[in-house]
Structure 1
């Protein structure tokens, strides 16, 4: 299927307002489930000092249940509930999965979309209907990466990585990951287990395909 890289204008949405107010910061939307007009989202804020941008999120209109899941010197992971960026809503309306991240910087968002030609055409019409201006950065005939994970597995796995679940020692618990993605602990555990299995199998297949170097 074709893979398109898009640059979209974020307008007066939270991502547009905040990224224009803090042009030195990057807001990466790494998890969202846009089945409605708003819901829980997970954003990684990256900057030389992310604290001002995070403080602006706390003060901005439209944010609910905001909490800092993880913070460091140059990045912070923030969970909140707010209206989804229109581009995500458009993807959902056309049945196209969101492929994180939606990278927001200085009022512009960039993301990759993989879908059949008719769906991409319908997405273009939908964005026009919503008044979202966009630019096609590139279009390839096939995805550049053959992802072995479902969208949900990707979301939960990326969230766990961002929160430090796979760090040594671990920086967060499975319960914290489940809370961040809005699911039960047992469901998060099963999803991670399936994702880990898929990643390990893909790694093993790639390793077996590599030429052997046994010195002989």
Structure 2
């Protein structure tokens, strides 16, 4: 499972691309974003010597449908912005790739970090190219099995490790679900729920990494 860092050229004909290119001292931090039917909504933290003129400038842009100032303190402001031209994030949404947030935009460039499957990373590259968005890949690193914290919570790892150690996954089984629950001192239902979620994450990861990619090839 690759972990990647990309530098993206923010399209200049978007409000954030034009403003950040014209004012490289400004820092935009995209806290989160969601797609709408014909637009995108983002929560953006702005850092500037004087945020108010920048906020006024953003409001005048044709592709900004709505702007709400959630809070302002000295050189920082938190904005909720709805844009009819969320071009920067379209490749991410179309490829189904979850970005690590927050991510920064400064000087007309966005810095993205993401962890996804090889097939979805390839799809992201294709969508970026199709939309004419320039990018460079800083690195792509494989996450090995020892980095299970990227896949499972600490609690899920503990319960799964205990189940394996007790023999729950041997055939025939050396331990029942009740035995595993007793070892962990939790209810059977709790143990079953945690195991089920952990197993689900692992199965989905395996299918996406090792089966979906082979079918596409």
SS for the counterpart of 1:24 is coil
SS for the counterpart of 1:53 is helix
Contact 1:25 1:50 in 2 (8 A): no
Structure 1 segments of 4+ aligned residues over 6 angstroms from their partners: none
SS for the counterpart of 1:23 is coil
Moved more, 106-115 or 83-92: 83-92
Contact 1:6 1:112 in 2 (8 A): yes
State the aligned residue count. 149
Unmatched 5+ stretches in structure 2: 154-217
CA deviation string 1:10-68 (max 9, x = no partner): 12212201111221111111111125441321110012322222121122221122111
Q: Establish whether residue 125 from structure 1 lines up as the match of residue 120 from structure 2.
A: no
* Higher Rg: 2
Task: Give the Cα–Cα distance (whole angstroms) in 2 for the partners of residues 147 and 116 of structure 1.
Answer: 12
Task: Give the Cα–Cα distance (whole angstroms) in 1 for the partners of residues 95 and 38 of structure 2.
Answer: 14
Structure 1 residue 148 displacement after superposition: 7.3
The equivalent of 1:8 in structure 2 is: 8
Mapping 1:60-99, distance limit 5 Å: 60-83=61-84, 85-99=86-100
Unmatched 5+ stretches in structure 1: 150-216
The equivalent of 1:169 in structure 2 is: none
Q: Establish whether residue 103 from structure 1 lines up as the match of residue 98 from structure 2.
A: no
The equivalent of 1:46 in structure 2 is: 47
Contact 1:14 1:85 in 2 (8 A): no
Mapping 1:159-174, distance limit 5 Å: none
CA deviation string 1:88-131 (max 9, x = no partner): 21111111123222311111111112111111111111110010
Task: Give the Cα–Cα distance (whole angstroms) in 1 for the partners of residues 77 and 99 of structure 2.
Answer: 22
TM-score for both structures, normalised by structure 2 = 0.62
CA RMSD of aligned residues (A): 2.3
Contact 2:28 2:44 in 1 (8 A): yes
Structure 1 residue 72 displacement after superposition: 0.8
Distance 1:93 1:17, change over 3 A: same
The equivalent of 2:30 in structure 1 is: 29
SS for the counterpart of 1:128 is helix
Contact 1:37 1:89 in 2 (8 A): no
Contact 1:34 1:84 in 2 (8 A): no
Contact 1:42 1:79 in 2 (8 A): yes
